């Protein structure tokens, strides 16, 4: 059996790289990390609100995926959706552990106040205010609509990947997305809701 060069590895699909990783080729798994580490970090950061925590979550998730590479099933979605689902689960587990340890709920605003900002500008204040308004508007949505929007916009999943993850028809996912975004637009614009 010949050893593949890095260049030939980069030409392989994610699924093929995972096969090689299962056979013990760490370099193949390293390429999977290079391809999907950025979106994984973005998702972990979005959920945890902490750069250090997001790095830990991504590291734990990828280590777990490396150990259980056989857990990937091509019929259930893409490699990216498999990775992001693992990161999402790790991030939620980390939040729950933190809440149990502290014995109370921790709001995003409370976390932001504990982190020392390099500079507090009016632009940063406006950005945080807008982020709070979006979070509040998202919380007002029904769970099924909020879930598909979060997976699409914060998780980077396509409609098809969301449908596979949630085991729903693609049309249902698109409908929930359309309805949820419409409600968000109305909520954020300040217009009265249509009965």
Q: Does residue 53 carry a pLDDT above 80? A: yes
Q: Does domain 9-106 have CATH number 1.20.1260.10?
A: no
> Domain limits of the chain?
9-106, 120-188
- What tokens does 75 get? 């019929």
How many angstroms separate the most distant Cα atoms in the chain?
68
- Determine the pLDDT at residue 176: 92
The tokens describing 190, both together, are 């300040």
**Phi/psi-derived region of residue 13, left when phi > 0, alpha when psi is between -120 and 50, beta in every other case:** beta
120-188 carries CATH number 1.10.10.370:
no
Least confident range of 51-60, 66-75, 147-156, 173-182: 66-75
Amino acid 113: pLDDT: 46
The whole-model pTM stands at 0.50
Instruction: Please give the average per-residue pLDDT across 84-113, as a whole number.
Output: 69
């Amino acid at each position: 059996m010949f050893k593949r060069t890095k260049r030939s590895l980069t030409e392989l699909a994610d699924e093929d790289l995972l096969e090689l990783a299962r056979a013990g080729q760490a370099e193949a798994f390293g390429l999977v990390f290079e391809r999907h580490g950025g979106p994984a970090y973005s998702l972990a950061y979005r959920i945890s609100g902490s750069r250090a925590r997001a790095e830990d979550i991504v590291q734990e998730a990828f280590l777990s995926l490396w150990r259980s590479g056989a857990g990937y099933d091509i019929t259930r979605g893409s490699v990216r959706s498999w990775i992001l689902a693992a990161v999402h689960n790790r991030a939620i587990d980390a939040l729950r552990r933190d809440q149990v340890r502290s014995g109370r709920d921790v709001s995003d605003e409370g976390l932001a106040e504990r982190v020392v900002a390099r500079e507090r500008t009016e632009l940063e204040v406006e950005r945080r205010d807008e982020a709070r308004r979006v979070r509040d508007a998202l919380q007002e949505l029904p769970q099924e609509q909020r879930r598909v929007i979060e997976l699409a916009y914060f998780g980077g999943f396509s409609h098809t990947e969301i449908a596979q993850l949630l085991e729903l028809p693609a049309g249902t996912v698109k409908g929930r997305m359309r309805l949820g975004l419409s409600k968000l637009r109305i909520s954020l614009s300040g217009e009265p809701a249509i009965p």
